[in-house]
Amino acid sequence: MLAANPNYSFYVPLSKLRASDSKKFKILSNFSSVNCFPPSKKFHFWSIPPSNAVQRTPRTRENRSRSSVGSCGSLCSKFPIGACLAAEPDTQSVDAPQQPFAPHSIKIPVGDRYILVETGHIGRQASSAVTVTDGETIIYTTVCLADVPNEPSDFFPLTVNYQERFSAAGRTSGGFFKREGRTKDHEVLICRLIDRPLRPTMLKGFYHETQILSWVMSYDGLHPPDSLAVTAAGIAVALSEVPNSGVIAGVRIGLIGDKFVVNPTTKEMEDSKLDLFLAGTDSAILMIEGYCDFLPEEKLLEAVEVGQNAVRVICMAVESLVKKCGKPKMFDAIKLPPPKLYKHVEEIAGDELVETLQIKNKIPRRRALSSLEAKVLNILTEEGFVSKTEASFTSEVLPVLVESEDEDEEVVVDGEVDEGDVHIKPAPKKPTPLLYSVGDVKLVFKEVSSKFLRRRIVEDGKRSDGRNPEDLRSINSCCGILPRAHGSALFTRGETQSLAVATLGDKQMAQRIDNLVDEEEFKRFYLQYSFPPSCVGEVGRAGAPSRREIGHGILAERALEPILPSENAFPYTIRVESTITESNGSSSMASVCGGCLALQDAGVPVRCSIAGIAMGMVLDTEEFGGDGTPLILSDITGGEDASGDMDFKVAGNDDGVTAFQMDIKVGGITLPVMRQALLQAKEGRKHILVEMSKCFPPPSKKLSRYAPLIHVMKVKPDKINLIIGSGGKKVKSIIEETGVESIDTQDDGIVKITAKDLSSLEKSKAIISSLTMVPTIGDVYRNCEIKSIAPYGAFVEIAPGREGLCHISELSASWLAKAEDAVKVGDRVDVKLIEINEKGQLRLSIRALLPKSSPETLNKKQRIDIPSKETTDNIELPEGRSLDAKVEARPPVVDKFVKRFINPGKDATKTNKSMPKKASNKPAIDTSKTSESPVINGEEAKFG
């Protein structure tokens, strides 16, 4: 039957199917027309069109996701066919419409190059998946959301994870498991960069948990992945089913010379004066974060404008892609609280809420708000709320059915209506109690509280603590409160307080960074921020730092980094810890102020003082009776941060800005609003710097006695191995012998010695100097110790571990029978270096430093008994002498001396004639001179 009828259908048990076969045949969805199979069996129905209708198409990127059709023979040979049914030809197999998973790609201009965006190629089961390519750096990002919504809450259930795969750079992890471990700090920072601009665009009332996963799949070391990851996440959300208000994108702006560069390469960033990251939509700015070296505010605004223009181009290109292949948004899943609930909450708690928000101190105000919220929850969720207007409305009647007692004698009472056997009596209507969900009530209570707070600021011009919009809280600070810490400071601003501690150390204390590129990187300065739950009077988790703590710590760290001295000027590793002991807004900027004072107290020679301030905003003032101009708030508190529309942190001094970070909780802000906030922040910083200068006790500005001592010395690079020794044995022995903490050597000849006290530092310094010194003939060494004595001379230690030989002839101006006649072990003498042989061995002389004697005072019978070169070459050193101390024992002036008695009473000429003739290289004694001193090789032998 199969051969006779080319158009047929058949069934195949699921257990016989393979995944590869599902690509060759099309599933029939009309199962109801088949009646010949047991209902308990599960089958897939496959339809095969006529073989002559099949058009084979080469597999390309555009059609690789479409279904292709196989032959009948191949199917029959693979699956046992249990039944065959006639079917209509599959007309949809030819010229099938485009599938929803069809790949799409676009190129978007960014700066001086293009980025490639692709979707529909991989990750097709996710709500959306995109790959974004810049150069050879590729980011893969997916968006998925839960099928069932969570309970209503006051935040959008969004989680972001970003990971840099080591394989992206062609390497693997150095750990034991050879795979990526916990999220690193810089990965956490990028997660925050992705999350912060996306969250304001998410529509309220959507409670399906949403997850964004981003991976660096390829990295070329030239194009940074962070700005690419933010753009990829914005595109993925725009293509997904998640309802949001618009497309977002992110770019980095650098300042190279006087030119702003969009998405500069890593090499270009080495010369950049600015590192600005900006994210937003085509019409507004949502998030900025940047670091610079005291740039003025106007220069920053120019950079923001360049970044906003670049973001606009990306967003417009992505919108065209969304129209082609974006999924329908789940607007029907949005569930907002009932509109009447807002009026009910205001009616219940309005008057009390106004009084509560005027409480100045944070803890009493928080407790009063919690008590008021509990009251509102009890009424609206348990007891039921009856509106005052509904309770006073009694004009309607409620029908009450009363059975007639006497049908014969019906009496119609005044006010009643005769309805036959039933009388209807008027009765007042009882209002129906209204009950709402707990989640809705909490959401509405929070929004109403925020509304009342903003209204008070706009209408009265006063904030919850009584300040004007431009006023700052009271500031006081003190240093040196921790006696054993290298530097400490306590900075207090209102109800926000930071305890900052500075610690100094050597390179071993530096923070090692494991990055994608296979280069070892160390941070010599880092600031760690901690926010314990006790700082807000609560009970909470205490453990590993949260993402917020990591982000705040990096912000304060980058704000203080420009004022630090160079490593050559101050060779210390610096760690600053900021523990928030009280918090009511702007704790990260308090860490900047406290950290600056702690650095000064530790004796770090900083360039200047740095202060930080947090700015807030009420964007829509017209809603509360204002003129519509945004109202900027200086030094915001925690409540103003939560209820406001902006959190803008700025750090710097009078001259410029070193760090800034802005988060928006509305649709975005414009450049004029940013300009106003920056200028107002500058005035606030000036005030804080003045208050910091009043710190008492003031910073010590000198090294603590408990801080380690670090000495930096420079040696020849080829001498470094002498310090390290075989397998590091030499440097370890120096550390053990002297008691220093560490000795760090670099390939360029820099040696850093870290010690707790000066004596151990000097010992190690002397040993290293002796190992690496380059002696020069003529150098004089004072107060050197005689280490040992041999028959041919004495070994003198000119430096720790470095000895030379002082021959017996150089020990004294007079003749010596043995060396002990002049010196003994332990004596201290001054010596002069008179020779360095080809082996690097040193020859010293005491005689060269003695006063010269006249020839007449010499003993004419003294015997010159100096061993020859052949004799000294075979000298054995005393036991315990090292090879470094071995010095060739030979005379400093000539190789050989003629041993001879000189008799002045005889004729010198006759004596010379009686001497046998020798070669010209032999020493000759010239007695023709009046001087009685012998002349050797034409030079006078001087003993005095």
**Greater pLDDT, 37 or 391:** 391
- The pLDDT of residue 426 is 61
Please tell me the distance from the alpha carbon of residue 229 to that of residue 188, in angstroms, as a whole number.
13
- The pLDDT of residue 172 is 82
3-state secondary structure of 830: strand
| pLDDT surpassing 70 at residue 24 | no
Is residue 434 a contact partner of residue 384, using CB atoms and an 8 Å limit?
yes
Provide mean pLDDT across the span 275-280: 96
State the helix-helix crossing angle for 758-772 and 729-738, rounded to 10 degrees.
Answer: 150
- Reported as a single tens digit per residue, the pLDDT across 449-462 is 999 999 989 988 88
Instruction: Tell me the residue type at 712.
Output: V
Share of the chain above pLDDT 70, in %: 74
Looking at residue 169, what DSSP letter applies? G
| pLDDT surpassing 60 at residue 917 | no
Going by their DSSP bridges, the two strands 274-280 and 285-295 should be labelled as antiparallel
- The pLDDT of residue 900 is 36
Beta carbons within 8 Å of 202's beta carbon, 6+ residues apart: 156, 158, 210, 242, 243, 244, 245
Beta carbons within 8 Å of 72's beta carbon, 6+ residues apart: 2, 6, 48, 51
Highest mean pLDDT among 317-321, 438-442, 669-673: 317-321
**Greater pLDDT, 343 or 27:** 343
DSSP for 709-776? EEEEEE--GGGHHHHH-GGGHHHHHHHHHH--SEEEE-TTSEEEEEESSHHHHHHHHHHHHHHH----
CA angle 6, 8, 13 (to 5 degrees): 135
Radius of gyration of the chain measured on its C-alpha atoms: 45
- The pLDDT of residue 51 is 37
Is residue 573 a contact partner of residue 524, using CB atoms and an 8 Å limit?
yes
Task: Outline where 68-171 has alpha helix (H).
Answer: 72-78
**Greater pLDDT, 203 or 424:** 203
Taking Cα atoms as reference points, which of 605, 594, 603 lies closest to residue 559? 594
- Reported as a single tens digit per residue, the pLDDT across 154-208 is 889 999 999 999 899 888 877 777 888 888 999 999 999 999 999 999 999 999 9
Provide mean pLDDT across the span 444-448: 93
Going by their DSSP bridges, the two strands 842-845 and 802-807 should be labelled as parallel
- The pLDDT of residue 37 is 38
Is residue 504 a contact partner of residue 572, using CB atoms and an 8 Å limit?
yes
DSSP for 553-588? HHHHHHHHGGGSPPTTTS--EEEEEEEEEE-SS-HH
Provide mean pLDDT across the span 224-237: 96
- The pLDDT of residue 670 is 85
Q: Label each residue of 401-430 as H, E or C.
A: EEECCCCCCCCCCCCCEEECCEEECCCECC
Please tell me the distance from the alpha carbon of residue 158 to that of residue 193, in angstroms, as a whole number.
13
φ, ψ dihedrals at 438, nearest 5°: -65, -45
- The pLDDT of residue 425 is 60
Taking Cα atoms as reference points, which of 124, 158, 154 lies closest to residue 142? 124
Is residue 163 a contact partner of residue 180, using CB atoms and an 8 Å limit?
yes
Is residue 802 a contact partner of residue 773, using CB atoms and an 8 Å limit?
yes
Both tokens of residue 159? Answer: 């989680």
Length of the chain: 944
891 CB-contact burial (10 Å; exposed 0-12 / middle 13-18 / buried 19+) = buried
- Reported as a single tens digit per residue, the pLDDT across 765-804 is 988 988 888 788 998 988 899 999 998 899 998 877 678 9
| pLDDT surpassing 90 at residue 869 | no
- The pLDDT of residue 295 is 94
φ, ψ dihedrals at 272, nearest 5°: -85, 140
389 CB-contact burial (10 Å; exposed 0-12 / middle 13-18 / buried 19+) = exposed
| pLDDT surpassing 70 at residue 920 | no
**Greater pLDDT, 931 or 761:** 761
From 259-263, 495-499, 505-509, 602-606, the region with the lowest mean pLDDT? 505-509
Taking Cα atoms as reference points, which of 74, 78, 75, 58 lies closest to residue 66? 58
- Reported as a single tens digit per residue, the pLDDT across 616-663 is 999 888 888 788 889 999 999 999 998 889 999 999 999 999 999 999
The structure tokens 């000066």 sit at: 758
- Reported as a single tens digit per residue, the pLDDT across 693-741 is 999 999 999 999 999 999 999 998 988 998 998 889 999 999 999 999 9
| pLDDT surpassing 60 at residue 41 | no
**Greater pLDDT, 781 or 63:** 781
- The pLDDT of residue 386 is 66
> CA–CA distance from 937 to each of 355, 689, 894, 897, 907 (Å)?
112, 80, 8, 10, 21
Is residue 348 a contact partner of residue 445, using CB atoms and an 8 Å limit?
no
From 426-440, 642-656, 870-884, the region with the lowest mean pLDDT? 870-884
Please tell me the distance from the alpha carbon of residue 496 to that of residue 476, in angstroms, as a whole number.
11
From 73-82, 494-503, 774-783, 834-843, the region with the lowest mean pLDDT? 73-82
